[in-house]
Amino acid sequence: MVARVIPVDQFDLVIFGATGDLSRRKILPGLYRRWREGQIPEGARIIGAARSEMGQDAFRQMVAEALTEFLPPREIDAAKRDSFLQMLDYVAIDARGDGGWQALADLMREDVVRAFYLSVAPALFGDIAERLHARGIAGRSSRIVVEKPFGKDLATARALNQALAAYFYEDQIYRIDHYLGKETVQNLMAVRFANILFEPLWNAQFVDHVQITVAETVGVDGRGEYYDHSGAMRDMVQNHMMQLLCLIAMEPPHHFEPDAMRDEKLKVIRALDPLDQTDLVRGQYRGAEGDDYLAQSGNPDSVTESFIAMKLHVSNWRWKGTPFYLRTGKRLKARVSEIAITFKEPPHSIFGESKQWRENVLVIRLQPDEGMDLRVMIKEPGPGGMRLKDVALDMSFAEALGNDLDVPDAYERLIMDVIRGNQTLFMRGDEVEAAWAWVDPVIAGWEAREDSPEPYEPGSTGPEGALMLLHRDGRRWREIR
């Protein structure tokens, strides 16, 4: 099956931090793929801006190498790659000084979309925004894109919002949470709002509990120092996990449109009860040298969590009484991201008090092997009475939609949405602040207690305490495998 590709308008896209890791790993390969698929019009331009002094040719060479490094060989079409490289320009720029700004201003064209991707440290957002404005490089119709971490608490997030708001309106600001760009995360919305089947059951009357798991096999090696200042709560929960929770718990927006969506997500965050510290478990992987958090973070006294599990309550009419269990961690047994909705028991069993009964569970698998499965009860075949058995109605999206479906990476979709001017999959400033407002007291709580995370084996399913979090409610986590 070939996905339909609608070309975007003419644009000049400036990537600040163009020589950095994210740009080489995700942004530039993503743009190449969109070019190859015919979504980027002839004449569009991508301008790298970074501190290093280099010419256009050297930049093109660097990008060619990045494509080879980060894309599988079958993805590279030499002619397409060469024409892609022709779109690239480069300006050496001093984000906090004067150097390079005039050269950038001279390069920009009139009457095309102007987008500025800030793939730089958040401390530079304000400086760059100010210069773009002062030099007349960004105008009312320009767009500015920023990456996480968007602050490390409410105060810093507010300061970043204010720094951007000084020069840009909210409808020009695109805050990336790459989880929202994932194909299957968007599928959550399709499953919920394009089917009549689930929505009537989607509430506390019928849903026993929800589990959201994002488990990774990788550790923090290579970025331990950065990670140690963040931890799982700031790195994954405040943004990605919170967004998943919102998409599951939100009311149907009246339209799939940016502010309607974001209003509903915001209401979910605001309806979260403050977290009871007994509903929280933090863990840290501790193993042999080379596989040990303390060694990899370079901080032998670290109390930063590489794993977190918690029980949340959304206090509104729809969800009062249904717990949401979240867990995420590094160096776990398998790479799994999934959302599991466990439904309640039928009100009456015509088969008697059968122990064979199992809950109906709808599992939405985000990665790997994206798909959905619904566990339902059927009769076990054969004579011998009515024995019940739970089986999976299992659908792999790859199988259902064709294995060769070329699914764009989250970044590709999001960058194209910036050019189209569609903010639906981007976080609004008040959403980010509300998420921090919920997270801050939780972190303050464990800091005040001076507790240390519970150790867990690398390659395991996390610390013992996380199992207990569900056991004490008479429930079990789904297996991570």
As annotated, the active-site residues are 240
Using the rule CB under 6 A, is 12 a contact of ligand BG6?
Answer: no
- The nearest distance, CB 182 to ligand BG6, in angstroms, is 7
Instruction: Give the number of residues in contact with ligand BG6, rule: CB under 6 A.
Output: 2
Q: State which residue, 208 or 216, has the beta carbon closest to ligand BG6.
A: 216
What is the rounded distance in angstroms from the CA atom of residue 430 to the CA atom of residue 439?
14
Q: State which residue, 216 or 305, has the beta carbon closest to ligand BG6.
A: 216
Both structure tokens of 137: 């490089």
Beta bridge partners of 272: 314
Q: Which of residues 228-257 bind ligand BG6 (CB under 6 A)?
A: 235
Q: Which residue has the tokens 């999959």?
A: 425
What is the rounded distance in angstroms from the CA atom of residue 19 to the CA atom of residue 153?
28
Q: State which residue, 223 or 270, has the beta carbon closest to ligand BG6.
A: 223
What is the rounded distance in angstroms from the CA atom of residue 355 to the CA atom of residue 357?
5
- The nearest distance, CB 110 to ligand BG6, in angstroms, is 36
Q: State which residue, 142 or 284, has the beta carbon closest to ligand BG6.
A: 284
Report CA-CA distances (Å) from 219 to 247, 455, 459, 467: 28, 14, 10, 21
End-to-end Cα separation, the chain, in angstroms: 30
Q: Which of residues 170-189 bind ligand BG6 (CB under 6 A)?
A: none
- The nearest distance, CB 109 to ligand BG6, in angstroms, is 33
What is the rounded distance in angstroms from the CA atom of residue 241 to the CA atom of residue 342?
18
What is the rounded distance in angstroms from the CA atom of residue 318 to the CA atom of residue 28?
42
What is the rounded distance in angstroms from the CA atom of residue 66 to the CA atom of residue 84?
13
- The nearest distance, CB 353 to ligand BG6, in angstroms, is 43
Find out whether 94 and 52 touch, Cβ atoms under 8 Å.
no
Q: State which residue, 235 or 417, has the beta carbon closest to ligand BG6.
A: 235
What is the rounded distance in angstroms from the CA atom of residue 375 to the CA atom of residue 393?
6
The DSSP string of 383-449 is SSS--EEEEEEEEEHHHHH-TT--PPPHHHHHHHHHHHT--TTSB-HHHHHHHHHHHHHHHHHHHHH
Q: State which residue, 24 or 45, has the beta carbon closest to ligand BG6.
A: 24
- From the list 54, 25, 425, 415, the residue with the least C-alpha distance to 223 is 25
Among 147, 208, 216, 370, binds ligand BG6 (CB under 6 A): 216
Q: What number of helices (H) and strands (E) belong to the chain?
A: 17, 15
What is the rounded distance in angstroms from the CA atom of residue 82 to the CA atom of residue 94?
29
Beta bridge partners of 395: 372
Q: State which residue, 161 or 306, has the beta carbon closest to ligand BG6.
A: 306
- The nearest distance, CB 179 to ligand BG6, in angstroms, is 7
- The nearest distance, CB 216 to ligand BG6, in angstroms, is 6
- The nearest distance, CB 85 to ligand BG6, in angstroms, is 27
Q: Which of residues 406-425 bind ligand BG6 (CB under 6 A)?
A: none
Residues that bind ligand BG6 (CB under 6 A): 216, 235
